[in-house]
Amino acid sequence: MRAAPVFVSQEELKAQQDAARQVSALPNRPGSYHIVTYGCQMNAHDSEKLAGLLSGMGMTEAPDRREADLVLFNTCCIRDNAERRALGNITWLKELKAQKPGLIIGVCGCMVQQPAMAQKILRQYRFVDLAFGTHNLHCLPSLLLSLLTQRSRVFSVTDDETLIAEGLPVKRLNAYHAYITIMYGCDNYCSYCIVPYVRGRERSRRMDDILREAEGLVKSGVKEIMLLGQNVNSYGSGSATETFPILLRKLDAIGVERIRFMTSHPKDLSDELIQAMADCPHVCHHLHLPVQSGDNEILRQMNRRYTREAYLDRVRRLRQAVPDIGLTTDFIVSFPGETQAQFERTCDLVDEVGFDAAFTFIYSPREGTRAAALPGRIEAAESTRRIETLIRHVEASTERVHQSLLGTEELVLVEGLSKRDEGMVSGKGRRNITITFPGDARDIGAILPVTITSCAANTLRGQRKER
Ligand code: 5AD
Ligand code: SF4
């Protein structure tokens, strides 16, 4: 059963706005903030909301953590190395605080949502002033107000995991590209994954709220909207009129120039969604479809609820309907007990599908997940060998895709000047591949036709087509 979302009440949101006003009037409030973000796009977008809330309290953004009065770490806990990196950087700030006693250090996001980690930060990181989890981000004004008026540490983690807060201010990172979260949480419980424990039950926003937000973004000059969710293609309230394909069609009709979305689960990739991708001219021809493994027994133990054959069938259907679709994926190597033969099936899946690109990860045990209790841990040296082998397959696949694109035309949304080459700009084509071509600052934000002329590592080069 899908959990019914609970929308944060107007009274609560008003109370937060009141708290924000009180914070901005306090003589001891921080003048500037700096947010350090780890992890996925959901976190990047949460940071935009945090920045929106902090700006609303009269604070300006400091470009460097050393110059800020408040440093906020928005953390990720998907793998052990994400946690270690964040803890290392948080510890580094202890020194800074010794020189600058007024500095406020905050930690929020997925790491804090794990009770054991929250306890660890509370006990062992005494210099952290403020901590809150993923479910009460909207409470930042009242938490900051308590911190500044009571001058004692504020730790607030709620497990109210069905909440949705609408209408929070957002300070966007990019003028032309914007994120919209359409659903929160995940109910899939893949056996390796911590996400359902820290992001809560799956819950979807109302379609009208999403459409209104998208219309506002289009009016403000946004060209590309990325729809976000842990599992966007299971979006919906359970009613037949609020499904992901219907949402895509409605967004397509309101004049968003480009629509992207992530992440999709292969088991929820319906024919209706494939048809909507084929029919909607503004939906980009790119799909991130994490497969994780090419072996059926490993997929079963991962609780992915599809087989290699079912995945390949979805890919075939997609390519029939949208022949130039670019596919990207995620892989985990060294899941407990993975044999050499099972690993090789993952490598040959890469060769068989021909992905544009893939993120590759070594399995990282996460406390509290089912896989963490499984026997058959694979040694670090062997895991490194496996991931390096897999990366070679992925690189060869990328190279083949890029070669096949030579001479074709792409529409590129120009993001900025190329960092490496003078006189060049770069941006993404509809397939989400970075393309560099001659241009200057006046092109930023434009969508331009480009002919692909050469390829290098992960990018393509092109020549602007004269219109
Ligand atoms: N270990 C390694 N990789 C993981 N992912 C999720 N959980 C783990 C884990 N415990 C990877 C999956 C997922 C991506 C976002 O992170 O590939 O698709
Ligand atoms: Fe994690 Fe699986 Fe949910 Fe993705 S679908 S967030 S891998 S539990």
pLDDT for res 63: 95
Give the chain's count of helices (H) and strands (E). 13, 21
Q: Which atom of ligand 2 is nearest to the CA of 265?
A: 5
**HSE (CB half, 13 Å, CA atoms) of 76?**
18
Q: Which residue has the tokens 């308590």?
A: 146
Question: CA–CA separation, 457 vs 374, rounded Å?
Answer: 38
pLDDT for res 2: 66
pLDDT for res 457: 79
Question: CA–CA separation, 274 vs 15, rounded Å?
Answer: 43
Using the CB atoms, write b or e for 437-462: b if 16+ within 10 Å.
Answer: bebeeebbbebbebebeebeeeebbb
pLDDT for res 237: 76
| Segment 25-52, tens digit of pLDDT | 999 999 999 999 999 999 999 999 999 9
What tokens appear for 90 in the block? 């948080």
- Asked whether 363 lines ligand 1 (CB < 6 A), one says yes
Burial class (CB in 10 A: 0-12, 13-18, 19+), 140: buried
pLDDT for res 3: 67
Using the CB atoms, write b or e for 260-269: b if 16+ within 10 Å.
Answer: bbbbbbbbbb
Distance 296 CA to ligand 1 centre (A): 18
- Asked whether 188 lines ligand 1 (CB < 6 A), one says no
Q: Which residue has the tokens 């670019």?
A: 326
Question: CA–CA separation, 113 vs 134, rounded Å?
Answer: 6
Which of 161, 183, 193, 303 to probe ligand 2 with, by most ligand atoms within 8 A of CB?
Answer: 193
CA distances from 312 to 295, 307, 316 (A): 12, 9, 6
pLDDT for res 4: 76
Q: Which atom of ligand 2 is nearest to the CA of 230?
A: 6
CA distances from 112 to 8, 197, 363 (A): 21, 11, 21
| Segment 73-123, tens digit of pLDDT | 999 999 999 999 999 999 999 999 999 999 999 999 999 999 999 999 999
User: What type of residue is 121?
Assistant: I
pLDDT for res 261: 98
Question: CA–CA separation, 68 vs 63, rounded Å?
Answer: 8
248 within 8 A of 277, measured Cβ to Cβ = yes
Q: At what angle do helices 244-253 and 271-279 cross, to 10 degrees?
A: 10
- Of 142, 177, 166, the closest CA to residue 156 belongs to 142
Length of the chain: 467
Those residues whose C-beta lies under 8 Å from the C-beta of residue 289, and which sit 6 or more positions away, are 264, 266, 269, 311, 314, 315, 327, 328, 329
List residues near ligand 2 (CB under 6 A): 186, 188-190, 193, 195-196, 230-231, 265
pLDDT for res 144: 97
Residues paired with 464 in a beta bridge: 450
pLDDT for res 244: 97
Q: Quick one: how far is CA 16 from the chain centroid? A: 26
| Segment 165-189, tens digit of pLDDT | 888 999 998 999 999 999 999 999 9
For residue 342, what is the enclosing H or E element? helix 340-353
Residues of the chain falling short of pLDDT 70: 1-3, 467
